[in-house]
Amino acid sequence: MQLSAEQLTWAVHGTPLLVDVNLTVASGQTFGLVGPNGSGKTSLLRLLAGLNKPKAGQVLIGNQPLHTLKQRAIAQSIALVEQQAETTDRITVREVVALGRTPFLSALQPWSDQNEAIVTQALLDVDMQHMANRLWHTLSGGERQRVHIGRALAQQPKVLLLDEPTNHLDIRHQLSILKLVKQLPITVIISLHDLNHAMECDHIGVMDGGRLVDAGPPKGVLTAFRLRQTFGVYADIFTDPVDNSQVMRFRSAL
Ligand SMILES: Nc1ncnc2c1ncn2[C@@H]1O[C@H](COP(=O)(O)OP(=O)(O)OP(=O)(O)O)[C@@H](O)[C@H]1O
């Protein structure tokens, strides 16, 4: 499902944190959101998820303005994995992932074998099935991160928003989560600090000072100029002879 932002503006105590953000992510696309610390990536993802209300502009899911939908309807379509998500103690890994099914349960639609199967698959997808009965508070940072992604997958969203989902993960799990996310047939917006990982996305958007300063196919967006201008680094860009992909080598800060 297509997700778009139209002239999105957000401010806290009169300080503008997002300014006039226009963005369209096509159905099924994996869109990488990059930008320096404090550039507005988390703020934008929270607005796109309906957790914060814009001061101006709107978010559209398909053709429907997000603010016209009830929280439960939003949760049936959009899942957000936050950077520092916390979960109450004394809850097992499987129970955390099962929370992803909450928006679909009601008196008329109680927990079913199908829900059970969805949770099992989500645990397998994030490689946490072997820890399904472990208590949440006993997990490492990376394991917690994978469980939270599992919960979002169990939600079977039409749009998946991920805020730096790989920041606690070892390299094997970084690559497997990125591969999994790319293969999902849904719309994904993923904020990333690793710009070489971002190159694998279908499109990239660059945040700088609360504005979306560029968006499009990765090669055209992450240029040596952009790396200097927005990220403050000198970098050389090479073509990998194995697969012709573009690789950045960061030399120094400006
Ligand atoms: N509730 C808030 N009140 C005041 N300032 C805020 C609030 N939320 C975010 N900010 C500020 O807005 C700016 C953007 O923050 P945001 O978390 O969106 O950036 P980010 O691009 O996700 O950063 P990072 O890469 O460090 O995670 C920062 O300067 C931050 O301090």
ipTM of the complex: 0.96
* Cα distances (angstroms) measured from residue 169 to each of 69, 142, 143, 146, 164: 34, 5, 8, 8, 10
- Per-residue pLDDT at 193: 94
Closest approach atom of ligand 1 to CA 210? 14
Q: Which residues contact 119 (CB under 8 A, 6 or more apart)?
A: 94, 97, 98, 100, 101, 154
**Ligand 1 centroid, distance to 207 Cα (angstroms):** 12
Domain boundaries, the chain: 3-217
Q: How far, in Å, CA of 126 to CA of 149, rounded?
A: 7
- Closest C-alpha to ligand 1, atom 31: 38
Q: And the tokens for 90? A: 């004394």
Dihedral sign from CA coordinates of 53, 195, 85, 128? positive
Which ligand 1 atom sits nearest the alpha carbon of residue 35? 21
Class of domain 3-217: alpha beta
Q: What are phi and psi of 226, to 5 degrees?
A: -65, -40
pLDDT of residue 88: 67
Q: What is the pLDDT of residue 226?
A: 96
Contact between 2 and 66 under an 8 Å Cβ cutoff? The reply is: no
What gap in Å lies between CA 172 and CA 146, rounded to an integer?
Answer: 12
Per-residue pLDDT of the chain (254 residues; tens, 9 = 90+): 999 999 999 999 989 999 999 999 999 999 999 999 999 999 999 999 999 999 999 999 999 999 999 999 999 999 999 987 676 678 999 999 999 999 999 998 999 999 999 999 999 999 999 999 999 989 988 898 899 999 999 999 999 999 999 888 899 989 988 998 898 889 999 999 999 999 999 999 999 999 999 999 999 999 999 999 999 999 999 999 999 989 999 999 99
pTM for the whole structure:
0.94
Q: How would you label 123-144 residue by residue, b for 16+ Cβ within 10 Å and e otherwise?
A: bebbbbbebbeeebeebeeebb
CA 124–ligand 1 middle distance (angstroms): 33
Distance CA 124, CA 237 (A): 36
Question: Which atom of ligand 1 is least distant from the CA of 40?
Answer: 18
* CA of 191, closest atom in ligand 1: 22
Measure the CA–CA gap between 163 and 87, rounded to whole angstroms: 17
Listed in sequence order, the residues at least 6 apart from 254 whose beta carbon sits closer than 8 Å to its beta carbon are: 228, 232, 233, 234
* pLDDT recorded at residue 167: 85
Ligand 1 pocket list (CB less than 6 A): 12, 17, 35, 37-43, 207
Ligand 1 centroid from CA 39, angstroms: 7
Q: Best of 8, 17, 52, 161 to mutate for ligand 1, by most ligand atoms within 8 A of CB?
A: 17
Atom of ligand 1 nearest to the CA of 83: 27
Strand (E) positions, the chain? 3-12, 15-25, 30-34, 56-61, 64-65, 78-81, 159-163, 187-191, 203-208, 211-216, 233-239, 246-253
166 vs 40: CA distance, rounded Å: 18
Nearest CA to ligand 1 atom 7: 12
Residue 204 backbone phi and psi in degrees, to 5: -130, 145
Residue nearest atom 25 of ligand 1, based on CA coordinates: 37
**Separation of alpha carbons 55 and 28, rounded Å:** 28
Tell the residue nearest (CA) to atom 3 of ligand 1: 12
- 145 CA distance to ligand 1 centroid (A)? 20
